[in-house]
Amino acid sequence: MTDRKNPVNPSSKEPSEKGAGSAKQSMGGPSAKPRAARPKRSLLERAATALGSGTSSEDDGVRNLAAADRLDAKVDATEALVAAIPENVNKAAEYALRGKVPQPPQGATAKPENLDATASTITESNESEKNGAKAAPGENPNQGPLQKHRVDSLGRALTTNQGVPVGDNQNSLRAGLRGPTLLEDFILREKITHFDHERIPERVVHARGSGAHGYFECTEDITSLTKAAPFAKVGKRTPVFVRFSTVAGERGSADTVRDVRGFAVKFYTDEGNWDLVGNNIPVFFIQDPMKFPDVVHAVKPEPHHQMPQASSAHDTFWDFISLMPESMHMVLWQMSDRAIPRSYRTMQGFGVHTFRFVNSAGQATLVKFHWTPVLGTHSLDWDEAVKISGADPDFHRRDLWEAIEGGAFPEYLLQIQTFTEAEAERWSFDVLDATKIVPEELVPLRTVGRLVLNRNPDNFFAETEQVAFCTQHIVPGIDFTNDPLLQGRNFSYLDTQLSRLGGPNFHEIPINAPVAEVHNNQRDGFHRQAINRGRVNYEPNSLAGGCPFQAGARGFTSVAERLLAQQATTEPTKLRAKPEKFADHYTQARLFWASQTPIERYHIARAFRFELTRVQTQAIRERMVAMLRNVDEGLAARVAADLGMQLPKPLSMVAPPVENPEVAVSPALSLFARPGDGRILGRRVAILVADGVSAAAASALYDALLLAGAVPRYVGARLGVVRTSDGDELPVEVTIEAAPSVLFDAAALPPGAGAAALALDGLAVEFVQLQFRHCKPLLVPASAASLAAAAGVGAAAAGADADPGLLVLPDDAVAEAAPAFIKAIAMHRAWQRQTEPPAV
């Protein structure tokens, strides 16, 4: 690792190197951090050391340090590789100089000393049954799992898509030097035609997404419940690809908008692909798929002017919602902090619907799926989310990529709720209703596995954009229920992929292809990849020895429907209606509200205030407040006051709420119920620096944070270096302007004389002010009192004992304060600090 306590002397004649963290989690901007002097080793030697020390280690500390060293070597190798081609030496050959038509030369090449220099991601060495091995240098092999589709062009000449070597990639074919371009130039036509068709239709919903590879590991024996392949035995690992997404926004929209988030997992099992396509909220807006186009149309930009983008704060959405009382439960979740997660790594996931487990004896059990982040459930503040949208619209995408790249692998527990049909029939709500949850107090969560994301994609389009999730992709051991919304999704998802990905062979796109072998009699269609041997494409047959043959008992068999069998004698066979329990629209909305902490209730009310303030039609605002009166009078009164209106009459109800529901308060519905395991992996921490800063204190804090898996950054007014109190230098890795407060999870003010200068810098003052306003941990050395006072934090610092996120201490105690600071960061926020309106 870099020794940051012995900075580079700028007068040295030796060229300085870039800093150890320059490539790692760069905040999207350049890093000008010079590296301290250290013994010179070859790039290959350093990369080998990093690999040997465990970038794939299960130990957090080992992995964090190894990843930093390997990324270090990658930066240097990239610099060396680029420096080996200082200019385009063949540029002159593009022109007919002095009347002489040149012959196109072979392109210039350079060989990297470290192959990480040309890698998309250093996590390419994390292999799985689906990923296979990383691409071999200079090869495009046609074998292996995804390996056969990975291309490395090292040392290879440019070709057309037909493999024809391209002699000149600079000029189109012309009739004379100044003549017309010729239609016979097939190289130009192929290149331009491919470019013209590079974009495919984006998803109607969930267009904005980020993905990662990883594995699912079974941790508990549940073979008595299901024969599904991922749960075949404890310790079994199944490769997965996970895509997180927003719902309403287009592909180029911002990450931190208030929205539902998709949490879709593709299991590449040895019995086929299973797609668990869920969200970060366990319920949905509607009960019947007939209304899905309506809710999506309502939340999308209004059709007459296509505004607003990726926002529900407009008339058409709230007009629809206020006329659909079954959406009340979902809307409370959406107005809560669940809709603005801190990152994908601190976000729950839910299967939403009730599914079935089926065991080897054919016995079925009803099940609901939950993904629980090991780092805890944490959110953004709304003001913070708005500012991040401007500072870094790729905030969640960058956080996921950089965490995986830096070795802080996101991890989630798979937890299930299982219950019988008899139990479900006794409850006051219907488990086939997607607007309802099964409270954890009724059916506790049971942990059965863990999900680890340990590899970034090589190519965003080929993997994250082309991955196709379909709810009907299930395997033996998993089955559907009659949830009407699930049944509608089963139709819709397949129909969407047929249109978006060009035809019925989207399953042959590499990221969608199963690891299990495919044998069937389906043939032809757009973009067919398989070359089937023989003349038989039907079953039964004898010309192919009866193959492929149906699997019989080993194959997938649907469970005989029993859940609604009792109604067969009292209801028509076919009808358009919903069960009576579906008509209760408010009991679980009340449960959610009653289960929130005071700060979460405040945030929900604030969200309604913001959203409904943007609604231009007064009658719609009144209708929504009237609906809120059926949830909680206090909530409705507060929102009405914030909107400057009188309380309207409560909205009429189809059915009254349950008088004595099974569960009245569920602490598990609060974000604070899952604080995480205390680690701070991937948390971004700013250490403000300026001339006069104490190098010893700042460096000790930096190294302690790095060792804990956080991402510390020296943040200053300008790039370059600052002069420390002992005459040395510290690098400024990123500026306050380029990386404002909202991009960091915590901050330490500079120990030493440097704070006085920052107290006169408006951006620095605003940085501290927003860290305090957004209730983030702050470390305030005594010498930084002037900066704290300028930001309005001075009075709060004097009474810091009541604020666990505010550490005020003498300068000589900063180095030893790292454990306390790390503990405060693990808390995520000190919400006790929040006031209305903000005090700072």
Residues with catalytic function: 206, 279
Which of 515, 201, 226 is CA-nearest to residue 358? 226
Q: Which two tokens stand for residue 775?
A: 């209730």
Question: CA-based diameter of the chain, in Å?
Answer: 95
DSSP class of residue 365? E
CA dist list (Å): 745 to 22, 92, 149, 821, 829:
19, 51, 39, 12, 9
**Beta strand segments in 340-445, E:** 349-350, 355-358, 364-373, 411-419
Residue 92: CB atoms within 10 Å: 10
Tokens 């062979």, residue located: 505
The helix-helix angle for 60-83 and 43-52 (nearest 10°) equals: 160
Contacts of 35-39 spanning 24+ positions with Cβ under 8 A: 35/2, 35/8, 35/72, 36/2, 36/3, 36/4, 36/5, 36/6, 36/7, 36/8, 37/6, 37/8, 38/2, 38/3
Tokens 């465990």, residue located: 54
Tokens 């350079």, residue located: 110
Which of 381, 335, 399, 410 is CA-nearest to residue 742? 381
CA angle 52, 679, 338 (to 5 degrees): 125
Which of 738, 768, 743, 716 is CA-nearest to residue 387? 743
Q: Kindly calculate the radius of gyration of the chain based on its CA atoms and give it in whole angstroms.
A: 29
DSSP string of 418-484, one letter each residue: EE-HHHHHHSSS-TT-TT----TTTS--EEEEEEEEEE--S-IIIIIIT----TT---TTEE----H
> Phi/psi of residue 483, each to 5°?
-50, 115
Amino acid of residue 700: A
Tokens 């869920």, residue located: 278
Instruction: Please give the Cα distance from 93 to 89 (Å, whole number).
Output: 9
Peptide bond into 548 cis (omega under 30): yes
Q: Which two tokens stand for residue 643?
A: 């909107």
Which of 697, 731, 686 is CA-nearest to residue 818? 697
> Phi/psi of residue 268, each to 5°?
-90, 80
Q: With contact defined as beta carbons under 8 Å apart, do 322 and 295 qualify?
A: no
Determine the length of the chain. 840
Q: Which two tokens stand for residue 719?
A: 């790039």
Q: With contact defined as beta carbons under 8 Å apart, do 448 and 415 qualify?
A: yes
Amino acid of residue 718: R
Neighbouring residues of 521: CB distance < 8 A, sequence distance ≥ 6: 536, 537, 538, 539, 548
Neighbouring residues of 178: CB distance < 8 A, sequence distance ≥ 6: none
Residue 255: CB atoms within 10 Å: 28
CA dist list (Å): 567 to 222, 575, 605:
32, 12, 42
Which three-class secondary structure state does DSSP give residue 199? coil
Which three-class secondary structure state does DSSP give residue 327? helix
Sign of CA dihedral 786, 787, 793, 796: negative
Neighbouring residues of 737: CB distance < 8 A, sequence distance ≥ 6: 763
Instruction: Please give the Cα distance from 447 to 94 (Å, whole number).
Output: 64
